[in-house]
Structure formats: C-alpha cells, structure tokens
Amino acid sequence: MLNSRELKGHARRVFRRRLMPLLLTAAAFLVVDYLINYLANELSGLNAWSRELIRHMDAYIQQIGEAPSAEELEEIYTNLIPSMPEVGTFARGAFAVALSWLINLMSVPLTAGYCWHMIQESRGVATHVGSLLHGFQVTLKTLAVTLLISLLVALGGLLFVIPGIILAFRYSLAIYILMDDPSKGVIQCMEESGALMRGNKWRLFKLELSFIGWNILESLITTIVGLPIFKLWLTPYSTLAHTAFYNEVLGLPPTTETQPEM
C-alpha cells in the first residue's frame, strides 16, 4: 500500500508531466465554479446584503474611529434585515433562495467532470478543458449521489460528530466510481465506495491531514493578495493525490506515460 508521501509523489510526477494542460483545466474549473456561486449569491441577495453590511461598518468606523464591538455589529446586522430590497415578500425571497440553491447545484456535475478529468490524467490519458463537461452527461446521478451522501452525513452528525465523519469517508469515492463507470447506479456507487474504503479510512484521513499546511498557506496567500492564485496549483495537486489513492485501492499501478489526448 502506498502511504501519503508516495501518493503525493505520484501526483507531483503527473503534475510535472502535464503542467500546462492541468493548470488550464484547473483555472477553467475554478472560474466557472466561482461564477456559479457568484450568480447564486446575487440572485439570493446575499452579495447585496454583504456590500450593505460593509458600507455600514465603514460608516461606523469613520464616525466612531474604531471597529464595532460584537454587540454593535449584531445591532447593525439586525437593523439591515428589514431594509434589504432583495428580500421583499416572503414568496419573492423564497423563490430567490430556491433559484439560488438550484444554480449552486450546477457545481456538482462540474466537480464530477473535474474528477473524471483527473482520473484520466492520473492514468496517463491526456484530456482537455472540455472534459469538465463530462459530469453533465450524468447530471441527475451526480446530484443524487451528492445529495444522498450529504443527507446521510448530516444525519450521522446529529448522532454526534464522529458518525458523520465516518460516513463522509465511507462514501468519499462514490463520485469517482460513478465517473469511472457512468453506467453504475447511485446505490451501487455508494456500496462500492463503502467496500473500497473498508480498512482505508485512516489512510485517506492521513492524506487529508497532510494537506492542512498547504490549505492554511493558500488561505493566507488569498487573504494577502486578494485572489486565490495559489489554489490554481493546490487544486490539481490535491485532487491528483486523492485520485492516486482511488487508483491504488482499485489495485491499479501508477502510470508513468501519457497516452494521446482523448
């Protein structure tokens, strides 16, 4: 069995071999995912409310000369709610939130397409940016898998936190299995994920843990620069490592060559 260092080493080798195509696809994935979330937040009025909150805080700081306390911030927050033009009637607000939620769901097949892209690249099969659309060929299945897993994890979390975490790791490979073979059913993908993860949850946990430092660094750089530029490198690197884990539990050997583009 490969340990976290070996899995990440394989990810780095694939990354170096296909640097520009992987960066280009990661950039496309991150930009489209951002646009989906931005559009959803605009429709729900969240962005407008956030801008209004910042405006009120800036006005408070200019007037008082210091940042508001927690109690004062809560008062600003409370006073803003009835004044939001985006809320309007309950029906209008409910429609906006529902529409926002539906738009956000489009991130699910997009992410699934990115998983398919990484599965191919990790096995030495060159792909292109258009591979991101692969998940939309099985949109309903990707949504069903994601929503069912989210429901089970949430229910497990209600029984204390640990059962939810265990379920999240148990079904963490379901999307990979679906994208590897779209003919499989939702329950079949989840059952196969559970079988593959039996005895491997701790290994995946350690792999996740090994990226904590990188994630902290990414957050710091994003805060300082104002743009998630480091995520452009970290996203394909971490996803390739997780895909290497998936291939390894399937019993597939690491690939050292790249086949022609699909």
Give me the pLDDT at residue 250, please: 94
Mean predicted confidence (pLDDT) in 180-199: 96
Specify the 3-state DSSP secondary structure of 86.
coil
Q: What pLDDT, in 10s, does the model give residues 103-126?
A: 888 999 999 999 999 999 999 999
Task: Confirm if 111 and 135 have CB atoms less than 8 A apart.
Answer: yes
In a domain, 50, yes or no: no
* pLDDT attached to residue 11: 94
Cα-Cα-Cα-Cα torsion 166, 168, 171, 176, nearest 10 degrees, comes to: -140
* 188 within domain boundaries: yes
Q: How many CB atoms lie within 10 A of CB 158?
A: 9
pLDDT at 63: 67
Is 93 contained in some domain?
A: no
Q: How many CA atoms are closer than 13 Å to the CA of 234, on its beta-carbon side?
A: 17
The total number of structural domains that make up the chain: 1
138 occurs within a structural domain: yes
Q: What percent of the chain has pLDDT over 90?
A: 61
Which residues constitute the domain of residue 231? Answer: 4-30+107-250
Q: Categorize the per-residue pLDDT at 88 as very low, low, confident or very high, splitting at 50, 70 and 90.
A: very low
Does residue 55 lie in a domain region?
no
Any domain includes 223:
yes
* Residue 96 falls inside a structural domain: no
Residue-level pLDDT at 96:
63
Choice between 46 and 163, residue whose per-residue pLDDT is larger: 163
Other Cβ atoms closer than 10 A to 244: 25
Residue type, 221: I
Please state the length of the chain.
262
SS3 category, 259: strand
| pLDDT at residue 257, rounded to an integer | 62
pLDDT (mean) for 33-48: 77
130 in a domain, yes or no?
A: yes
83 vs 168, more confident: 168
> And the tokens for 47?
């962005």
In sequence order, what are the residues at sequence separation of 6 or more whose Cβ sits closer than 8 angstroms to the Cβ of residue 76?
53, 56, 57, 60, 68
Chain-centroid distance, C-alpha 50: 23
H-assigned helices in the chain: 4-17, 19-44, 46-64, 70-80, 90-104, 107-122, 139-158, 161-170, 174-180, 186-197, 201-209, 212-225, 231-250
- 56 contacts: CB under 8 Å, gap ≥ 6: 76, 80
